[in-house]
Amino acid sequence: MNESSNVNKSAEEQEARFTPAEANTAQTFAQGLKAGLPIAIGYLPIAIAFGLLARSAGVSLYVAVLMSLLVFAGASQFIAVNLLALGTQAWEIILTTLVINLRHFLMTASLSQRLAPELSKKWRSLLAFGITDETFTVASLQTPSILTAPFVLGLNLIAYSSWVLGTGAGVLLAGGLPAAIQASMGIALYAMFIGLLVPSLRNGLPVIVVVSAAVALQGLMNWVPVLSFLATGWKLVISASLAAMLGAAFYPEGVES
């Protein structure tokens, strides 16, 4: 009799310790961690490559890890390190990375509309910081019952942790690698962009036109004497912006090619 009452008492204490709302929060957070695990695995080698590249460009462990902690944007970080190595001015690097990351405004705005209306701005800001192309894609595929703040937090956290830890590991590994191998890590930037670009080519002619225009404009600015004086950061910003405007003009949204 006493044993039965003790079991019941223990069960009641357990229920009192975790309310249904708290249990649901923990469950959805765990689902977010699980959904983000493949992203974390994919981020790890790229983050290590970034750490190696940063070290080869003369960036310290502290600065490289701090960049991953505060920026958390792979393409922008790769470009920023390359521009730093070229001696580009700080404001040009900031402008270049801003243009590259403008898409995050659209992604976070779209995702914010699907979250609970009562979610505070502080929570929305925190979740927005961790959104990347990959985490946005995974989050967008979730049903309304799954897509909650705890889920997105778990999804972002595991991807973020992988990126930061991979960066630190890359910088530390660089000390034991030959200089030639460290210098070759610059190819990671181009490999990353090709990996992002190739799936987009399935959308057909508009993407091909925009990419071709950007490449042509970049080459034009490098070879035309009147434009060759421009800094690398400016050339990148101008060519990408003009190519995007060209694509928007010839292939407006809602008009099929």
199: in domain: no
- Res 232 pLDDT > 70: no
Residues 172, 82, single domain; the answer is yes
Is the residue at 198 inside a domain? no
Mean pLDDT is lowest, of 76-85, 129-138, 208-217, for 208-217
**Which residue among 130, 149, 184 closes a domain?**
184
Same domain, 135 and 226: no
- Do 142 and 232 share a domain, yes or no? no
pLDDT at 255: 47
pLDDT over threshold 50, residue 118: yes
pLDDT at residue 140 is higher than 70: yes
User: How does DSSP classify residue 195?
Assistant: H
Q: What is the pLDDT of residue 18?
A: 44
Domain match, 179 and 230 both: no
230 and 163 belong to one structural domain: no
Counted domains in the chain: 2
- Evaluate the CA torsion angle 179, 187, 71, 28 in order and state its sign: negative
Please determine, for residue 10, whether its predicted confidence score (pLDDT) is greater than 60: no
Query: 189 in a domain, yes or no?
Result: no
8 within some domain: no
Domain for residue 69, yes or no?
yes
Q: What is the pLDDT of residue 22?
A: 57
- Could you tell me if 157 and 229 lie in one domain? no
Residues 124 and 211 placed together within one structural domain of the fold: no
Structure tokens at 201: 């080519």
pLDDT at 215 over 70: yes
Domain that holds residue 142: 26-184
Is residue 231 pLDDT above 80, yes or no? no
Distances in Å between the Cα of 26 and the Cα atoms of 17, 31, 32, 160, 197 are: 13, 9, 10, 19, 36
Whether the full predicted model's pTM is greater than 0.85, yes or no, is: no
Predicted local distance difference test score (pLDDT) of residue 133: 84
Residues 58-82 have pLDDT tens digits of 899 999 999 999 999 988 898 899 8
Q: For residue 131, which of 156, 112, 151 has the smallest C-alpha distance?
A: 156
How far is Cα 127 from Cα 252, in angstroms, rounded to an integer? 31
Is residue 173 classed as helix, strand or coil in its secondary structure? helix
* Residues 223 and 134 both lie in one domain: no
- Please give the Cα distance from 128 to 125 (Å, whole number): 5
Average pLDDT over residues 37-47: 89
Q: What is the pLDDT of residue 83?
A: 87
Q: What is the torsional sign of CA 182, 184, 190, 192? A: negative
End-to-end Cα separation, the chain, in angstroms: 78
